[in-house]
């Protein structure tokens, strides 16, 4: 029993749409990676270097050929610890622990300390 050709048209449309969407996703990923293939097996070290490259060049996959950092890179730190600590701690306060004096009680072997 022959199959009417009208039933094959929707299947052709479905296959064509899957192909078009797959090719479009491939093109978008290629464009996002700067024309390079997608990275696989990225660990934490690779992520740190990719973030550094993004801060240096403005592109996640870009690499700079200049051995010196551009002006303003020293202020482009992803770790905001210093600003956080400056907001919490007073700059004139000294947080170092004072030297500890210990005295040995004779005959007991017990140390008493003052701070």
Q: SS3 for the chain, per residue?
A: CCCCHHHHHHHHHHHHHHHHHHHHHHHHHHHHCCCCCCCCCCCHHHHHHHHHHHHHHCCCCCCCCCCCCCCCHHHCCCCCHHHHHHHHCCCCCCCCCCCCEEEEECCCCEEEEEC
What's the confidence (pLDDT) of residue 34?
Answer: 80
What's the confidence (pLDDT) of residue 17?
Answer: 98
What's the confidence (pLDDT) of residue 11?
Answer: 93
Bridge-based pairing state of the strands 110-114 and 101-105: antiparallel
What's the confidence (pLDDT) of residue 53?
Answer: 82
Residue 19 parent element (H or E): helix 8-32
pTM of the model: 0.46
Q: Are 104 and 98 in contact (CB under 8 A)?
A: no
The residue ranges of the chain whose pLDDT is under 50 are 99, 101-105
Domain boundaries, given as residue ranges, for the chain: 1-37, 44-90
Distance, in Å, from the CA atom of 27 to the CA atom of 114, rounded to the nearest integer, reads 71
Beta bridge partners, 102, equal 113
What's the confidence (pLDDT) of residue 18?
Answer: 98
């Amino acid at each position: 029993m022959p199959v009417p050709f009208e039933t094959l048209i929707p299947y052709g449309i479905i296959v064509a749409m899957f192909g078009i969407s797959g090719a479009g996703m491939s093109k978008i990923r290629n464009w996002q990676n700067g024309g390079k293939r997608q990275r696989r097996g990225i660990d934490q070290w690779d992520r740190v270097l990719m973030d550094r490259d993004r801060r240096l060049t403005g592109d996640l996959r870009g690499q700079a050929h200049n051995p010196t950092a551009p002006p303003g890179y020293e202020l482009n730190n992803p770790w905001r610890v210093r600003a956080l600590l400056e907001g919490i701690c007073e700059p004139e306060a000294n947080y170092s622990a004072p030297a500890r004096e210990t005295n040995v009680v004779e005959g007991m072997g017990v140390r008493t300390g003052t701070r």
